[in-house]
Structure 1
Amino acid sequence: MNTSLDLVFLWHMHQPDYRDYATGEFSLPWVYLHAMKDYSDMASHLERHPKVRAVVNFVPILLDQLEDYEQQFASNQLRDPLLRLLARDDLSCLSPAEHQFILDSCFRSNHTKMIAPYPAYKRLHDLFRTLEPSGDVVLSYLSGQYLADLLTWYHLAWCGESVRREHDVLVELMSKGEGFDASDRQQLLSVIGHTVSGIIPRYRKLAASGQIEISATPHYHPLAPLLLDLNSARESIPDSSLPQSVRYPGGHSRVAAHIHSALETHRARFGVTPQGIWPAEGAVSTGLLELLAQQDCHWAASGETVLANSLRAAHGSDLADRSYYLYRPYHISGASKKVHCFFRDDKLSDLIGFEYSRWHGKDAALHFVAQVEEIARQNHSGDSPVVSVILDGENAWEYYPYNGYYFLDDLYTALEDHPVIQTNTFSDYLANTGKQGSFAFSNEGELPRLVAGSWVYGTFSTWIGCPDKDRAWDLLCMAKQSYDMVLVSGHLTEVERKAAERQLASCESSDWFWWFGDYNPSHAVESFDRLYRHNLIHLYHLLKLPAPATLNHPLSHGGRGDEVEAGGAMRRGS
């Protein structure tokens, strides 16, 4: 095996904005929970394997919330209701709503990997399941000590494996098992604050050393191609249903604003301009790449099926040699030519995201490396292949034993000094293969255009094309029309205008549309439906307009039962 190969991991870190801008309260805890568990563990793996290189993509709105939590811990003014309850000295005098809130929240974990392994936590869960059929009156008899233990175990289970190894107090608490008092909870809260506050500095240090490249996403994670053109949904699904609205008003300027804000905040946090953009959901179109080119973006990435659809459109047939067309960068003819596009190896990425959690960690790591070695063996082009493995850096690990600790440790160990596979970043690949910003690579392909799509099935069907999703788009379009009308009138002060724009940006997040539909857990659908409508109602309030009455009623009638996927997100195709 003589052919060298560049392997680029892109770990995508994202949570939508869970803040209620009307009150400053956090409505869901997923940002700090993933920081305790996943963002901390992923940084630790890289720190312990300094020869392994990767791209880490942070969505700016996630970083905004991490900084918000850092300020909460520094000031001891907690605006997350679950953290406030953890910090409460006495849990014996809770209101009925607080009592129910703890019970509703603290079993939202992967039961097999995050509850069952801990006998004391499992006992709490078994007792709850025994009493639950008897109704709220019986559940109300659960004591303050039960609730204290439940809150403590929930947060202990969400601590990353690396965090447990760093903080002896966590091991001591887990050994204690029950009867946690206020002092125990304060010690746990201190570890949480320390961990969450350290996330951005740790990744900044990794980037400064050159080990990782930090890329960005348009600020609030909008599904940019649909904001630019709702009809782009029909490029991959010609008979897709669409909202009644013909277009999203002013979509071009809104996408440009999300991109500009992402670049500005990235420079402020990390001292450099991001060279690459991972569009929200890997959703791309020719129009979006043209906007990225205007912002001097050097690379973007998407899913393998987007490439396959685009090649099929360009050549009129499928190209059989996957290894020939997938493992190279591309550029698009025309105004977006200087943006180099990389496409995800869906098979390798999904092995990590969905399959290897059921394997022994070392077996999975060696299998993955063997798969990449085979790609190198099959390469006959004479050029060094570049293999892009792109997936969430947060949602898969709760399905792995020990949060994927042993799998990732064995994987990085196998790759550190591999004779053929070189881990790399997209920017350094471009710099070492040719002059960054040029498009004169011998192995680079050219496409006349992109068939618009995402990393999920190569389509936009997860965000548009069914009645509930289309209705959500129509409500957003209506709100944007009202926003434009009020801005033209000049009735808002500059402070009021900025508040309304921030609220609009939050409403434009792709996450709201993801959750509508009958394939997601019903509890999650209801939560995101309620949050989306609340955000739109508050936007109208900021615009000093009455909100449409339809926003008082659920938009979605879907959901697939009451089971809840932990982490605030189903296991995405990522």
Structure 2
Amino acid sequence: MKQLNLVFLWHMHQPDYRDHGNNLGVSKVGAGQTATDNAAGEFTLPWVYLHAMKDYVDMAAHLERYPEIRCVVNFVPVLLEQIEDYVQQFASRKFRDPLLRMLATPDLNHIPEVDRHLLLNTCFRSNHVTMLAPFPRYQYLHDLYLSLSREGDAMLAYLSGAYFSDLITWYHLAWTGETERRRNPLLATLISKGEGYDAADRQHLLASIGELITGLIPRWRALAARGQVELSATPQTHPLAPLLLDFHAARESLPDAQLPVSTTYPGGRSRVMTQIGSGRASHATRFGAPPAGMWPAEGAISAPFVQLLANAGCRWIASGEGVLKHSLAASGIHTTMHAAYRPWQLEGAPELTLFFRDDRLSDLIGFDYAKWHGRDAARHLVAQLDAILDAAPTDEAPVVSIILDGENAWEHYPYNGYYFFDDLYSLLKQHPRITTTTYARLLAQARPVVASPLPQLVAGSWVYGTLSTWIGNQQKNHAWDLLCAAKQSYDLVLASGRLSAEKSALATRQLAICESSDWFWWFGDYNPAANVASFDQLFRHNLVHLYHLLQLEPPAQLEIPISAGSSAATGGSMRRATESSA
């Protein structure tokens, strides 16, 4: 019987939201934070622990319920660092996240105005259709806020400590995972109570969150230890490596792409090698061995980058289907519908195998199935896989890669996707012709999959098969120029030897944070203004802190916003893979 090998790769990532600047006198990101109260390591945005308690927990629980299902889960090292940071905060009870501090505050009746604004500006940030409207008392808090805000900010002063206690409690209840709500009686009790939450309720909820966060990495380690999950990684802080190596990589898929004024990123090859090495080493520290493979940041690859990954010991990487299509066309190879369903090897790097994402199926999960009944969506996906297998050549066992964000899609699903995963994993575990597997297992089996030769690789990413999401317009290019200038200063100062070893290490860590792809993702008028403002400020603040670590005066232009975004744009945290389906 013909068999289809199905690989799910769930990518878990958040950039470093910690302010390592320690009161450097620049504007801070996030409501309620000032230059005087922002401690070193303060979290400027709460997305790491919120996604941890909702999505990373749920995704582990789905697999624990279905031990027959195998998959690859990609954890970016800088995300794991922050999860471990939260574990330490819960252990010490010294919270450097403003929301957790508010949840832990015994008396919310006399909190300062800055903290009131923090709660009002933060505790309604969610998908209101699936995470607010289903809870009438939470919806009431929002309606009351809207009613008072229409009368002017002065009216908000009438909100009591009881209001803020209910608000912050509901916000955290809304961000709990569906599997945890079904397991933990405390959550059911608090949700049923609905209002009138007191300090004891908040302390119980805080303790429950702490248990979830503390147990998260051990849960994933256990899933990997029993062979159900292959844990992969990304270079340390999620850098857009092909561009660090050469800005001209953007023109391989878009010949007319506009490039930054800076001709190249200074010392890019060394930085990429350091990012790869740091990512593999930190993964080995947490999980006992370096990862067999990597999901490069944004699935962005180029021929020089692939060679560096191969040299570092990576046995597999994955990217977007658009990259494969462009590469096959450049290689003079006719593209068929089955091209993405087989592994490939780039000439010059035979020890590394490339797999490519099925963009259509991945986007169905990421953007469309949330509107379907869970069982219908699951059946439709399995039917698509059956059709792929039926159409495959007789002598081929197709490898279908479904790769997507493992955290942001689920808030669009009812019940955080619980029923979709329940139905999908249930159908797959008993399907006679579909085997869920991992890339490492495919490469290690007695008859390993045979890779086809890929003569030429065109640089690109999983988004459109290009690098245009991170470079090419005025705002993104300006951000690269600011980073290049900071890197030149970094090189000169470290070469001078005037910094101590400790301060040099801090500057190098800060540089790596500035190299994250996330900042460039958000620049552009097609993204929501509020999100753009947050990431814009954080990027510039990170550069300012780098200059201060180098004992240099930051350029005045770092005080000027790079991008404004659009008040009409929605979403932003996810993209479809192809422009035609956007």
- TM > 0.5 between the two? yes
In 2, Cα distance between equivalents of 1:236 and 1:124 = 49
1:87 equivalent in alignment to 2:104: yes
Give the SS at the match of 1:527. helix
Counterpart in the other structure of 2:400: 387
Query: Paired residue for 1:418, among 415, 431, 435?
Result: 431
Query: Paired residue for 1:37, among 54, 61, 65?
Result: 54
In 2, Cα distance between equivalents of 1:192 and 1:136 = 32
In 2, Cα distance between equivalents of 1:141 and 1:463 = 45
Counterpart in the other structure of 2:274: 257
In 1, Cα distance between equivalents of 2:512 and 2:300 = 18
In 2, Cα distance between equivalents of 1:499 and 1:140 = 42
- Taking the TM superposition and a 5 Å limit, the aligned residue runs for 1:87-126 are 87-126=104-143
Counterpart in the other structure of 2:28: none
% identical aligned pairs? 59
Counterpart in the other structure of 2:514: 507
In 2, Cα distance between equivalents of 1:226 and 1:164 = 43
Counterpart in the other structure of 1:518: 525
Question: Quick one: which amino acid aligns to residue 425 of structure 1?
Answer: T
Comparing 377-386 with 111-120, which one deviates more in the overlay? 377-386
Instruction: Give deviations 1:371-429, integer Å, cap 9, x for gaps.
Output: 00111100114121100000011010000000000000110010112100000000101
Contact kept? 2:6, 2:437, Cα under 8 Å: yes
- Structure 2 regions of 5+ residues with no counterpart? 22-39, 578-582
Counterpart in the other structure of 1:438: none
Question: Quick one: which amino acid aligns to residue 218 of structure 2?
Answer: P
Counterpart in the other structure of 1:162: 179
Question: Quick one: which amino acid aligns to residue 365 of structure 1?
Answer: A
In 2, Cα distance between equivalents of 1:275 and 1:171 = 41
In 2, Cα distance between equivalents of 1:159 and 1:558 = 30
Query: Paired residue for 2:213, among 180, 185, 196?
Result: 196
In 1, Cα distance between equivalents of 2:2 and 2:157 = 66
Query: Paired residue for 2:241, among 204, 212, 224?
Result: 224
In 2, Cα distance between equivalents of 1:222 and 1:29 = 21
**Which consecutive aligned stretches of 4+ in structure 1 deviate over 2 angstroms post-superposition?**
557-563, 571-574
Counterpart in the other structure of 2:33: none
1:331 equivalent in alignment to 2:345: yes
Give the SS at the match of 1:544. coil
Counterpart in the other structure of 2:576: 573
In 2, Cα distance between equivalents of 1:221 and 1:560 = 28
Counterpart in the other structure of 1:213: 230
Question: Quick one: which amino acid aligns to residue 415 of structure 1?
Answer: L
Instruction: Give deviations 1:101-126, integer Å, cap 9, x for gaps.
Output: 10000000001000000000000111
Instruction: Give deviations 1:173-194, integer Å, cap 9, x for gaps.
Output: 1100001000000011011111
Deviation at 1:27, TM superposition (A): 0.3
Give the SS at the match of 1:315. coil
Give the SS at the match of 1:322. coil
Question: Quick one: which amino acid aligns to residue 160 of structure 1?
Answer: G
Give the SS at the match of 1:40. helix
Query: Paired residue for 1:367, among 372, 377, 380?
Result: 380
Counterpart in the other structure of 1:529: 536
1:356 equivalent in alignment to 2:358: no
Query: Paired residue for 2:190, among 155, 173, 178?
Result: 173
In 1, Cα distance between equivalents of 2:558 and 2:566 = 19
Query: Paired residue for 2:465, among 438, 458, 470?
Result: 458
In 2, Cα distance between equivalents of 1:106 and 1:135 = 19
Counterpart in the other structure of 2:559: 552
In 2, Cα distance between equivalents of 1:263 and 1:107 = 37
Deviation at 1:134, TM superposition (A): 2.0
Tell me the number of residue pairs that the alignment of Structure 1 and Structure 2 aligns: 559
Give the SS at the match of 1:51. coil
In 1, Cα distance between equivalents of 2:496 and 2:136 = 62
1:342 equivalent in alignment to 2:355: yes
Contact kept? 2:357, 2:402, Cα under 8 Å: yes
Deviation at 1:482, TM superposition (A): 0.2
Contact kept? 2:319, 2:357, Cα under 8 Å: yes
Deviation at 1:561, TM superposition (A): 3.5
Give the SS at the match of 2:331. helix
Contact kept? 1:519, 1:560, Cα under 8 Å: no
Instruction: Give deviations 1:48-90, integer Å, cap 9, x for gaps.
Output: 1000000000000000000000000011111000100011001
- Structure 1 regions of 5+ residues with no counterpart? 436-440
Cα distance change on mapping 1:562 and 1:313 into 2, 3 Å: closer
Give the SS at the match of 1:90. coil
In 2, Cα distance between equivalents of 1:255 and 1:381 = 41
1:298 equivalent in alignment to 2:315: yes
Q: Structure 2 length as normaliser, TM-score?
A: 0.95
Deviation at 1:446, TM superposition (A): 1.1
In 2, Cα distance between equivalents of 1:562 and 1:52 = 37
Query: Paired residue for 1:486, among 485, 490, 493?
Result: 493
In 2, Cα distance between equivalents of 1:143 and 1:466 = 47
Query: Paired residue for 2:337, among 314, 319, 322?
Result: 322
Deviation at 1:487, TM superposition (A): 0.4
Counterpart in the other structure of 1:401: 414
Counterpart in the other structure of 2:24: none
Contact kept? 2:221, 2:287, Cα under 8 Å: yes
Deviation at 1:562, TM superposition (A): 7.6
Deviation at 1:572, TM superposition (A): 3.0
Deviation at 1:449, TM superposition (A): 2.0
In 2, Cα distance between equivalents of 1:367 and 1:537 = 50
Instruction: Give deviations 1:237-286, integer Å, cap 9, x for gaps.
Output: 11111100000000001011111011111111001220001000000000
Give the SS at the match of 1:11. strand
Question: Quick one: which amino acid aligns to residue 444 of structure 2?
Answer: A
1:247 equivalent in alignment to 2:264: yes
Give the SS at the match of 2:52. helix
Counterpart in the other structure of 1:72: 89
1:429 equivalent in alignment to 2:432: no
Contact kept? 1:13, 1:393, Cα under 8 Å: yes
Deviation at 1:152, TM superposition (A): 0.4
In 1, Cα distance between equivalents of 2:567 and 2:385 = 37
Question: Quick one: which amino acid aligns to residue 107 of structure 1?
Answer: F
Counterpart in the other structure of 2:25: none
In 2, Cα distance between equivalents of 1:185 and 1:105 = 17
CA RMSD of aligned residues (A): 1.1
Give the SS at the match of 2:491. helix
Q: Structure 1 length as normaliser, TM-score?
A: 0.96
Question: Quick one: which amino acid aligns to residue 393 of structure 1?
Answer: G
Question: Quick one: which amino acid aligns to residue 540 of structure 2?
Answer: R
Contact kept? 1:3, 1:379, Cα under 8 Å: no
Counterpart in the other structure of 2:327: 310
Instruction: Give deviations 1:437-490, integer Å, cap 9, x for gaps.
Output: xxxx54x21111210000011111111111110000000000000000000000
